[in-house]
Amino acid sequence: MISFLQFFILVPLAGFIISVLIPGKQETLLSRVTFSAVGINFLAFIAYAIWWLIEGHVPLNFKDIVLFQSTGYEFYIDFYFDKITAVYMFVGAFLTLMVTVYSRYYLHRERGYKRFFNTILFFYMGYNITIFSGNLETLFIGWEILGISSFLLIAFYRDRYLPVKNAFKVFSIYRIGDVGLILAMWMMHHLWHSNITFQQLNTAELVHEHLQSHTFIGVFISLMILVTAAAKSAQLPFSSWLPRAMEGPTPSSAIFYGSLSVHLGVFLLLRTFPFWENQLSVRILIGVLGLLTAFVATGIARVQSSVKSQIAYSSISQIGLIFIEVAAGFEKLALIHFAGNAFLRTYQLLVSPSVVSYLIREQFYNFVPRQHTIEDSIPRKIQYTFYMLSLKEWNLESFIYKLWRPLKKTGRQMNFMTLKNAMVFFVITYAIGVICLFNEDKIPSQIHPYLPTLFSLVGFIMVLKSYTERKNVYLAWALILMNHFWVTLAISFNEHFKYDQTLLYLSGIILAGIVGFLCLSRLKSFEKDVDLNQFHGHAYEHPKIAFMFLLACLGLTGFPITPTFIGEDLIFSHIREDQAALAFFTASSFIIDGISVIRIYARIFLGPHVKTYHESAYKSS
């Protein structure tokens, strides 16, 4: 029965594949396939959970597939089932089932009806992979699927400006969380010298033995896990993305940002709790972060003029309290709180359109004066200060923007770099780097340790220029490809990184890069304007090219459809723990790489139509 855990991944995967093949006009068939896939999954889980409880509810671990294996490294898919998985699976399956029924009528005759149900099944598959994951590598697969699903659903009304802009903002925050998870896996490899499973983390003696002499590494891993959890669950300072995510349809807002996706940061903390439970400083930091988020988000929620934004900030404040419960070790209370908050926010979001219409009528005929509360005893100056800060959302969005401003300013200083100059520079310098690699034994020992960091820095500068490029889309795409080549060259100077591993990593990059260039060239033959100075909305007339280019973008960011996904983890496993600068530049490259790729896709294929004879879309939904 342990191997039956695969079933909960395969059912939504099969449903997703079938739904992709169904024509968009057959709404009834699309909704039935989605409902059937989620319903079968839910009923199967109920039966499996009953069997698991009767058998003594012992945690189950199942090592499924070894995708790659080399000396000192093994990348394998691992599934794990315990009470945390059971609670998250029950809530996820039940709410997805309800939202599927709701969406069938809510989105009737909507232009993106098929696209919505495809993405919902894709999301549900990623959610199941995440909660059934038995190690960080498997969890990262589901994490990536959830990230791209979020982007697609927020930008569902893709012919409008604000949904696309907000989808890009959310993806940028998600990318920071993704790299936090990669860095946590990097240090985990050096701490355990193998891929550790969540079941092994529950062995207190094993964890204590490794952390006793590696305190700093343990704190670093815990902080990276916290950054990832905070970004995913919209905790400070990342709280501003959740209301922006409400630009998507109400059902997706309910299932993603009210109930399931936004609580996965809590899931990550619960799953890794045995690792950091004895690190008092980390527990205090998590508790303080949750408390500050609850305090700030509560005030912001009270002054929101939009009902969806109010619900979003209310959910953030409750998740802050759940962070406190997890830090205090109250696992069961945190799970109950998660379930209650998920059900409540989903219900509130689904009925919000009706409630708004009722309140508009009621405010004219049933006015009730405001009642005095204990808050009135607070000095007026403090009340007004808190009110103004809440009204400005504590400038959280501008704070995040300021983090990117130095990078944008630096990238814009490199306007001298044209496509021709970049190609000449790359060919010459990369050839020098390859020659140095093949004659590594002749390089002076004083210089050799700095070469990986230098080459990684060159790649980082190139992807930084791609991120700020406003004109030539071919230049932006080529610079991203060059960055990956520089990263592999940098890591190749470290021991044990063999040429077959380099090929494994670059195989997906090269294929995705070629497909991307072909898509852009094909689009250029139809459209004159494909620069990056605005949103063009070319997906309206060229949906097939848009879809193929999206696949190329996913391949270039290391999404789990190419071997590059394994290669990313493999690269970090070959970065030594004393090479902090190399890890920083490589991780930063991956952050900006993903953001830059999605930026290219969004500006070329999403947004308002550039042609005047098409129906013009409004800015906001």
Query: Read out DSSP for 265-293?
Result: HHHHHHHHHHHHTT-HHHHHHHHHHHHHH
Structure tokens at 89: 């699976």
Closest C-alpha to 33, from 9, 14, 5, 47: 14
Does the pLDDT value for residue 399 go beyond 90?
no
Structure tokens at 448: 């050799």
pLDDT (0 to 100) of residue 121: 93
Q: Where are the alpha helices (DSSP H) in 366-498?
A: 380-391, 396-412, 419-438, 451-468, 473-492
Does the pLDDT value for residue 96 go beyond 60?
yes
Domain that holds residue 196: 2-360
Q: Is the dihedral of CA 129, 134, 135, 136 positive or negative?
A: positive
What pLDDT band is residue 492 in, cutting at 50, 70 and 90? confident
How far apart CA 456 and CA 360 sit, in angstroms, is: 57
How far apart CA 143 and CA 573 sit, in angstroms, is: 19
Does the pLDDT value for residue 140 go beyond 70?
yes
Claim to verify: residue 342 and residue 444 sit in the same structural domain: no
How far apart CA 280 and CA 158 sit, in angstroms, is: 46
Claim to verify: residue 337 and residue 472 sit in the same structural domain: no
How far apart CA 224 and CA 142 sit, in angstroms, is: 18
In a domain, 385, yes or no: no
How far apart CA 352 and CA 358 sit, in angstroms, is: 10
Claim to verify: residue 348 and residue 438 sit in the same structural domain: no
In a domain, 57, yes or no: yes
Structure tokens at 26: 């057959």
Structure tokens at 552: 């190329």
Q: How far is CA 266 from the centre of its chain?
A: 14
How far apart CA 522 and CA 516 sit, in angstroms, is: 10
pLDDT (0 to 100) of residue 207: 80
**Residue type, position 88, single letter:** Y
Q: Are 16 and 39 in contact (CB under 8 A)?
A: no
Q: Are 477 and 600 in contact (CB under 8 A)?
A: yes
Q: Own/partner pairs for 394-401, CB < 8 Å, 24+ apart?
A: 394/296, 394/300, 396/236, 396/237, 396/238, 396/239, 396/240, 397/240, 399/237, 400/173, 400/237, 400/238, 400/240
How far apart CA 123 and CA 108 sit, in angstroms, is: 21
Claim to verify: residue 600 and residue 477 sit in the same structural domain: yes
Report how many domains make up the chain. Answer: 2
Instruction: Count Cβ atoms within 10 A of the Cβ of residue 577 and give its class: 0-12 exposed, 13-18 middle, 19 or more buried.
Output: middle
More confident residue, 402 or 21: 21
610: three-class secondary structure by DSSP: coil
More confident residue, 304 or 335: 335
Claim to verify: residue 444 and residue 318 sit in the same structural domain: no
Q: Which of 24-33, 160-169, 340-349, 359-368 has the lowest mean pLDDT?
A: 359-368
What pLDDT band is residue 127 in, cutting at 50, 70 and 90? very high
In a domain, 301, yes or no: yes
Write the secondary structure of 306-343 as one string of H (helix), E (strand) and C (coil).
CHHHHHHHHHHHHHHHHHHHHHHCCHHHHHHHHHHHHH
Of 328, 360, 392, which marks where a domain is finished?
360
Q: Which of 174-188, 564-578, 591-605 has the lowest mean pLDDT?
A: 564-578
Claim to verify: residue 343 and residue 465 sit in the same structural domain: no
User: pLDDT digits over 199-235, tens only?
Assistant: 888 887 888 877 777 788 889 999 999 999 999 998 9
Distances (CA, A) of 126 to 10, 131, 234, 447: 11, 9, 19, 45
Which strand (E) or helix (H) includes residue 7? helix 7-21
> Which phi and psi angles does 68 have, rounded to 5°?
-155, 140
Claim to verify: residue 296 and residue 435 sit in the same structural domain: no
Sequence-separated (6 or more) residues with CB below 8 Å from residue 54: none
User: pLDDT digits over 338-364, tens only?
Assistant: 999 999 999 888 887 777 666 665 555
How far apart CA 520 and CA 516 sit, in angstroms, is: 6
Claim to verify: residue 319 and residue 453 sit in the same structural domain: no
What pLDDT band is residue 64 in, cutting at 50, 70 and 90? confident
Claim to verify: residue 38 and residue 134 sit in the same structural domain: yes
Terminal C-alpha separation, the chain: 47
What's the whole-number mean pLDDT along residues 391-403?
81
In a domain, 365, yes or no: no
In a domain, 378, yes or no: no
In a domain, 368, yes or no: no
Does the pLDDT value for residue 168 go beyond 50?
yes
pLDDT (0 to 100) of residue 40: 94
Rounded-to-10 torsion of CA 14, 15, 16, 21: 90
Sequence-separated (6 or more) residues with CB below 8 Å from residue 528: none
What pLDDT band is residue 505 in, cutting at 50, 70 and 90? confident
Claim to verify: residue 47 and residue 185 sit in the same structural domain: yes
What pLDDT band is residue 257 in, cutting at 50, 70 and 90? confident
Q: Which of 95-109, 217-231, 374-388, 546-560 has the lowest mean pLDDT?
A: 374-388
In a domain, 308, yes or no: yes
Closest C-alpha to 189, from 572, 589, 580: 572
Quote the strand ranges of 164-268, DSSP E: none
pLDDT (0 to 100) of residue 495: 66
How far apart CA 44 and CA 141 sit, in angstroms, is: 23
How far apart CA 486 and CA 495 sit, in angstroms, is: 17
Does the pLDDT value for residue 566 go beyond 60?
yes
State the CB neighbour count (10 A cutoff) for residue 363.
10
Residue holding tokens 């059902």? 251
Q: Which of 58-67, 491-500, 546-555 has the lowest mean pLDDT?
A: 491-500
More confident residue, 525 or 205: 525
Claim to verify: residue 111 and residue 206 sit in the same structural domain: yes
How far apart CA 406 and CA 396 sit, in angstroms, is: 17
User: pLDDT digits over 407-448, tens only?
Assistant: 777 777 777 778 888 888 888 888 888 888 888 778 887 888
What pLDDT band is residue 614 in, cutting at 50, 70 and 90? low
Query: Is the bond into 449 cis (omega within 30 degrees of 0)?
Result: no
pLDDT (0 to 100) of residue 368: 67
Residue holding tokens 């930091």? 285
What's the whole-number mean pLDDT along residues 149-170?
89
Q: Are 535 and 606 in contact (CB under 8 A)?
A: yes
pLDDT (0 to 100) of residue 515: 94
Claim to verify: residue 318 and residue 426 sit in the same structural domain: no
Supply the mean pLDDT for the chain. Answer: 86
In a domain, 481, yes or no: yes
Q: What region does 537 belong to: left with phi over 0, alpha with psi -120 to 50, or beta?
A: left
